[in-house]
């Protein structure tokens, strides 16, 4: 499903080049869940951006469903993202001028996969049924985050990439959102790569890896 091979990424900084990822290998099979942990600045978001083809590595390859991202044009990578990936960030990035339902279906429509029954199911699952006509500013933080998760899952992606999906929520709401995310992932058979500082978020994932000094390690090493 997702394969990163020998990924190296260096950023230029005033102090000289900063090597954030150093020959990183990672494979994620269909339906698998993986938590990527590590200290602030260890390169977790960088890895997630590379996995999504939002940025390209200096060397090494990222393959999504057997397609090498660096061999694709930017529009082709955007199309692949639209059809295969769901993205959830700590900032919800909802569209303020669109209703709850339209926010939820936006990505699905762009991917040509707007399925009313699945949308209704998601709205109910997310506890947002009855709120279809509201706008994001009329929702609580937890509701907005649930909507962002629903939007990512609406086109039925094969892989969900989530960067601190509960980072903006208090613990009780975060637990609810997390349980929901897990249920929806199980229902849809989607693989999940979640970047998190939180051991609570990481605990239920099938695998946990830690990024340190540019390398991926098993936890505890």
Q: Does 42 bind ligand ATP (CB under 6 A)?
A: yes
- Which residue's CB is nearer to ligand ATP, number 81 or number 89? 89
CB atoms closer than 10 angstroms to residue 15: 6
Cα angle for residues 161, 164, 165 (degrees, 5° grid): 70
Asked if 17 contacts 11 with a C-beta cutoff of 8 angstroms, the reply is yes
Compare residues 46 and 107 and give the one whose CB is closer to ligand ATP.
46
State whether the Cα torsion 35-109-3-87 is positive or negative. Answer: negative
Whichever of 57 and 155 has its CB closer to ligand ATP, that residue is 57
Binding of ligand ATP at residue 77 (CB under 6 A)?
no
Task: Indicate which single residue of 45, 168, 188, 198 sits in contact with ligand ATP (rule: CB under 6 A).
Answer: 45
Please choose, out of 40-48, 104-112, 115-123, 186-194, the segment that lies near ligand ATP by the rule CB under 6 A. Answer: 40-48
Q: Are 118 and 154 in contact (CB under 8 A)?
A: yes
157 binds ligand ATP (CB under 6 A): no
The residues facing 61 across adjacent strands are 5
Could you say whether residue 166 binds ligand ATP (CB under 6 A)?
Answer: no
16, with CB counted inside 10 A (0-12, 13-18, 19+), is: exposed
| Rounded Cα gap, residues 221 and 218, in angstroms | 6
Q: Classify 8 as helix, strand or coil.
A: strand
CB closer to ligand ATP, 45 vs 79 = 45
Closest approach, Cβ 40 to ligand ATP, in A, equals 3
Query: C-beta of 43: minimal distance to ligand ATP in Å?
Result: 4
Give min distance, CB of 5 to ligand ATP, in A.
Answer: 19
Q: Is 13 in the site for ligand ATP (CB under 6 A)?
A: yes
Q: What are the residues binding ligand ATP (CB under 6 A)?
A: 11, 13, 18, 20, 38, 40-46
């Amino acid at each position: 499903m997702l394969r990163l091979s020998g990924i190296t990424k260096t950023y230029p900084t005033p102090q000289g080049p900063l090597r954030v990822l150093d020959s990183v290998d990672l494979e994620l099979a269909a339906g698998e869940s993986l938590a990527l942990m590590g200290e602030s600045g260890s390169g977790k978001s960088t890895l997630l951006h590379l996995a999504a083809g939002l940025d390209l590595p200096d060397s090494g390859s990222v393959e999504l469903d057997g397609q090498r991202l660096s061999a694709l044009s930017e529009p082709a990578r955007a199309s692949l993202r639209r059809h295969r990936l769901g993205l959830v960030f700590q900032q919800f990035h909802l569209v303020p001028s669109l209703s709850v339902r339209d926010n939820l279906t936006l990505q699905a429509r762009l991917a040509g996969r707007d399925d009313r029954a699945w949308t209704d199911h998601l709205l109910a699952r997310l506890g947002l049924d009855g709120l279809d006509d509201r706008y994001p500013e009329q929702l609580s933080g937890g509701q907005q985050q649930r909507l962002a998760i629903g939007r990512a899952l609406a086109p039925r992606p094969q892989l969900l990439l989530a960067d601190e999906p509960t980072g903006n929520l208090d613990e009780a709401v975060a637990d609810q959102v997390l349980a929901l995310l897990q249920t929806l992932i199980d229902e849809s058979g989607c693989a999940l790569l979640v970047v998190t500082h939180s051991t609570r978020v990481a605990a239920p994932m099938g695998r946990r890896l830690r990024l340190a000094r540019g390398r991926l390690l098993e936890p505890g090493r």
